[in-house]
Amino acid sequence: MKKYLFLLLTGFTFSAAQSQEITDAMRYAQDNLNGTARFRAMGGAFGALGGDLSSLNINPAGSAVFSNNQIGATLSSYNTKNNSNYFGSTTTDKNNSFDLNQAGGVFVFKNHDPNSNWKKFSLGVNYDNVNNYNNSIFSTGTNPTNSVDGYFLSYANGVPLSDLRDSSYGSLNHGAQQAFLGYQGYVINPESTNSNNTQYTSNVPAGGNYYQENTISTNGYNGKLSFNAATSYKDKLYIGLNLNSHFTDYRQSTSFYEDNSAPLTTDYTITRLRFDNELYTYGTGFSFQIGAIAKVTNEVRLGLAYESSTWYHLSDEFSQKLVAVSSAANLPDTNDVVDPQITNVYAPYKLQTPSKLTGSFAYVFGKSALISIDYAMKDYSNTKFKPENDSYFRDVNSYMNSVLNKTNEVRVGAEYKIEQLSLRAGYRYEQSPYKNKTTVGDLTGYSGGLGYNFGSTKVDLSYSTAKRNSQQGFFSQGFTDGAKINTMNNNVSLTLLFEL
């Protein structure tokens, strides 16, 4: 009784039922290219170079390349443009944000013993905003075939009518809650008024031409704090280790609107509705990295690095609201508002993202220029929700294993120095994590920048752009139509570095 009163007063309900989907997993399995301005300008191709605070994210041996202590911070401006095409109707939405993208330092301890082959030891700590989630997408168009009623029907069929008629929203699991919203909003009807009825029909008129709008607004971040240690052997071999702490805070608001122009009859039918969903995900994670850089000759550098899975411990909070309008010939409209005013707080769960292996090559032209190439492999089909013996997670993991793929990523960077001025350019290509290459397409990015060395102070500026196409359903089942999205990300970063 006390627990019931608490839930009633707070508007929260605690549930062990899951609502996690493949899109939630991919949000944390995919990394963006973030870091210092020099790192971004050169496409992130630093696996065999080191000597940059963000190079630690690729190969932890990179901190032992530093000659002196260094601290730095990076400010970044993000601009995201989403072009949407939904059944021939095109729209554009933009989002701009500004934040502290990177901050850290490396401290070098030189060994002055002339008889030792271990020339120096370095310690570093670096923060990177791995993903900036600030984004907005608006899609609109007329669907000639499908209504959102299919979403509610897909969850309702098989659920006893007594559960939807006599239960409260907060007492049901996630699937039954979707059916509850559709039933209480008069979007779906039971085929029979018998309490044991498990089959439902739509109250949305058939015939197509459903005008639909879908709005997605997200904000938040996925940060990584790396604690680094590395050493140098004869200034020819560099070995390093990272212990990484991850923390994420993500909010997503979606609003789906639909109306139809079907002729009215004497029976009430749904003419328009709006379905709102709010998701808040937060949690922490851990990963580690090991790597080595070999200085084969004065010109040639080779690198190899392994990044472990990230083991996340996440929590979700989720709320919903449905407003449906029913109309009939010569009768006033009826508004059905289903607003449980309840936030579902799901049981914490674990997510394991795939590991990553990176091989690198760099060629250094004295002190005037360099070119660097990184090649990385990642198997997204190994992404897993845990506990794996949970029947729901077992099905989601099996699905991810069947639709996700191994990927290859290539990053190329170059730098040319003219006295204190450095000119930089980069290229990045990353394959789609999906086998169909449609849900999320390949990524292609270009970058450039410059830097100026004032001696103990350095200033770097970069511009990078990347594009990727995607097509994901507005909903996960029942009604899976979605817009084709062309996303263009533009970033300007400014880094200030101090050598101590």
Please identify which residue in the block is written with the tokens 């909070």: 317
Query: Smallest Cα–Cα separation from 123: which of 228, 256, 219?
Result: 228
Compute the distance between CA of residue 158 and CA of residue 197 in angstroms, rounded to an integer: 8
Asked whether the predicted pLDDT for residue 388 surpasses 80, the reply is yes
Compute the distance between CA of residue 138 and CA of residue 215 in angstroms, rounded to an integer: 5
Q: Are 80 and 487 in contact (CB under 8 A)?
A: yes
Whole-prediction pTM value?
A: 0.92
Q: In this predicted structure, what is the pLDDT of residue 51?
A: 94
**How does residue 173 score in pLDDT terms, banded at 50, 70 and 90?**
very high
Percent with pLDDT over 90 in the chain? 91
| Residue 147 backbone dihedrals phi, psi, to 5 degrees | -110, 160
Instruction: Tell me whether the omega of the peptide bond preceding residue 263 falls within 30 degrees of 0, making it cis.
Output: no
pLDDT digits (tens, 9 = 90+) for 438-458: 999 999 999 999 999 999 999
Q: In this predicted structure, what is the pLDDT of residue 473?
A: 94
Element housing 81 (H / E): strand 70-86
How many of the other CB atoms lie within 10 Å of CB of 361? 17
**How does residue 391 score in pLDDT terms, banded at 50, 70 and 90?**
confident
Compute the distance between CA of residue 384 and CA of residue 401 in angstroms, rounded to an integer: 9
**How does residue 207 score in pLDDT terms, banded at 50, 70 and 90?**
confident
Asked whether the predicted pLDDT for residue 3 surpasses 60, the reply is no
Asked whether the predicted pLDDT for residue 5 surpasses 50, the reply is no
Please identify which residue in the block is written with the tokens 């021939």: 88
| Residue 25 backbone dihedrals phi, psi, to 5 degrees | -65, -40
**How does residue 10 score in pLDDT terms, banded at 50, 70 and 90?**
very low
The mean pLDDT of 13-26, rounded to a whole number, is: 75
The mean pLDDT of 398-406, rounded to a whole number, is: 96
| Residue 339 backbone dihedrals phi, psi, to 5 degrees | -125, 90
Q: DSSP character for 434?
A: B
Q: In this predicted structure, what is the pLDDT of residue 15?
A: 54
Q: Are 490 and 465 in contact (CB under 8 A)?
A: yes
Based on C-alpha coordinates, what's the Rg of the chain?
27
Asked whether the predicted pLDDT for residue 2 surpasses 60, the reply is no
**Which residue type, as a one-letter code, is found at position 162?**
S
Instruction: Delineate the domains of the chain, giving CATH numbers in brackets.
Output: 13-147+204-499 (2.40.160.60)
Q: Is 115 left (phi over 0), alpha (psi -120 to 50) or beta?
A: alpha
User: Which residues 6+ apart lie within 8 Å of 112 measured at CB?
Assistant: none
The mean pLDDT of 386-399, rounded to a whole number, is: 91
Q: Are 182 and 149 in contact (CB under 8 A)?
A: yes
Q: In this predicted structure, what is the pLDDT of residue 115?
A: 87
The mean pLDDT of 390-418, rounded to a whole number, is: 95
Q: In this predicted structure, what is the pLDDT of residue 4?
A: 33
Query: Smallest Cα–Cα separation from 94: which of 499, 487, 429?
Result: 487
Q: DSSP character for 203?
A: -
The DSSP string of 437-496 is SSSEEEEEEEEEEEEEE-SSEEEEEEEEEEEEEEE--SSSSS-----EEEEEEEEEEEEE
Q: In this predicted structure, what is the pLDDT of residue 12?
A: 66
Q: Are 229 and 123 in contact (CB under 8 A)?
A: yes
Q: In this predicted structure, what is the pLDDT of residue 9?
A: 38
Compute the distance between CA of residue 262 and CA of residue 207 in angstroms, rounded to an integer: 8
Mean pLDDT of the chain: 94
List the beta strands (DSSP E) in 329-405: 331-338, 343-346, 349-352, 356-365, 369-379, 384-386
Compute the distance between CA of residue 360 and CA of residue 241 in angstroms, rounded to an integer: 17
The mean pLDDT of 158-171, rounded to a whole number, is: 94
Helix 391-403 × helix 22-29 angle, to 10°: 60
Q: In this predicted structure, what is the pLDDT of residue 17?
A: 52
The mean pLDDT of 311-330, rounded to a whole number, is: 96
Q: How many residues does the chain have?
A: 500
List the beta strands (DSSP E) in 173-330: 188-190, 200-202, 210-233, 237-260, 269-295, 300-307, 311-328
Asked whether the predicted pLDDT for residue 8 surpasses 90, the reply is no
Q: In this predicted structure, what is the pLDDT of residue 55?
A: 96
Q: In this predicted structure, what is the pLDDT of residue 113?
A: 87
